[in-house]
């Protein structure tokens, strides 16, 4: 795979950054021009805390939150985000409350569900959905469909990366967008210009990384 990795940083806090690898990548839903490595943001406790501070800002003074539903290995950020929302002070609407974390699982039909002992954290609760990346929107839509089934009240959606914020049906608070990455694009597999040019795939993007494709 081409060694052209570069880094983009959040202007407000350069400690928050992600590595970007240009190339020809595929997921189970689309092809894309870049692989975004969000691993350090999700697993480095010090960085995750700064990320949580940024993501909590839109909710601090106006949004009652009962549960943060963490998708795509965002539990560390979710825990720090809950802590930030619970800070004491007149401007913090959740001060003195309890905020829980929950993550759905997939059943045999690959539908998202919550285990019986976790459903009380969802039914009639005010929920923030926290996702790693929104590109095709399928992960987010599956999460929202699942929460709707259980009667959860979605009061906010946050993401580390949102490819096309102007094309989303819902308001999404994100750290980075596709506009931060030069020439970032996604395509449906049958419309991918890189494929039409005969360019081979570099790697398959999976939920926690990528798998290089041998030449």
CATH code for the domain of 98:
3.40.50.2020
Domain that holds residue 22: 6-212
pLDDT at res. 196 = 94
CB 160 within 8 A of CB 38: yes
**What SS3 class is residue 106?**
strand
Q: What confidence tier does 1 reach under pLDDT thresholds 50, 70, 90?
A: low
Query: Is 185 within a domain?
Result: yes
Strands (E), the chain: 6-10, 13-26, 31-37, 67-70, 100-102, 105-106, 112-113, 126-134, 153-162, 173-177, 186-187, 203-206, 209-212
Query: Is 138 within a domain?
Result: yes
pLDDT at res. 124 = 97
Query: pTM score, two decimals?
Result: 0.92
CB 101 within 8 A of CB 75: yes
Q: What confidence tier does 96 reach under pLDDT thresholds 50, 70, 90?
A: confident
- Examine the pLDDT at 108 and tell me if it is beyond 80: no
How many structural domains are present in the chain?
1
Query: Is 1 within a domain?
Result: no
Mean pLDDT score across all residues of the chain: 92
Hey, which residues does 25 pair with through a beta bridge? 32, 203
- Span 13-38, mean pLDDT? 93
Q: What confidence tier does 215 reach under pLDDT thresholds 50, 70, 90?
A: low
Query: Is 90 within a domain?
Result: yes
Question: Which is more confident, 66 or 3?
Answer: 66
- Examine the pLDDT at 50 and tell me if it is beyond 70: yes
């Amino acid at each position: 795979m081409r060694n052209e990795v570069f880094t983009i940083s959040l202007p407000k806090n350069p400690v928050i950054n992600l590595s970007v690898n240009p190339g020809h990548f595929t997921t189970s839903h689309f092809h894309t021009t870049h692989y975004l490595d969000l691993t350090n943001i999700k697993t480095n406790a010090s960085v995750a805390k700064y990320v949580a501070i940024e993501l909590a800002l839109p909710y601090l003074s106006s949004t009652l939150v009962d549960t943060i539903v963490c998708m795509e290995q965002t539990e560390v950020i979710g825990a720090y985000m809950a802590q930030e929302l619970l800070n004491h002070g007149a401007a913090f609407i959740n001060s003195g409350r309890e905020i829980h974390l929950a993550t759905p699982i997939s059943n045999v039909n690959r539908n998202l569900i919550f285990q019986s002992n976790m459903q009380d954290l969802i039914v009639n609760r005010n929920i923030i959905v926290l996702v790693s990346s929104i590109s095709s929107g399928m992960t987010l839509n599956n999460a929202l469909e699942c929460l709707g089934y259980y009667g959860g009240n979605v009061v906010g959606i946050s993401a580390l990366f949102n490819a096309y914020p102007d094309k989303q049906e819902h308001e999404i608070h994100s750290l980075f967008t596709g506009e931060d990455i030069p020439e970032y694009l996604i395509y449906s597999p049958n419309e991918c210009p890189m494929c039409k040019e005969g360019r081979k795939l570099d790697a398959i993007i999976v939920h926690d990384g990528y798998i290089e494709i041998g030449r």
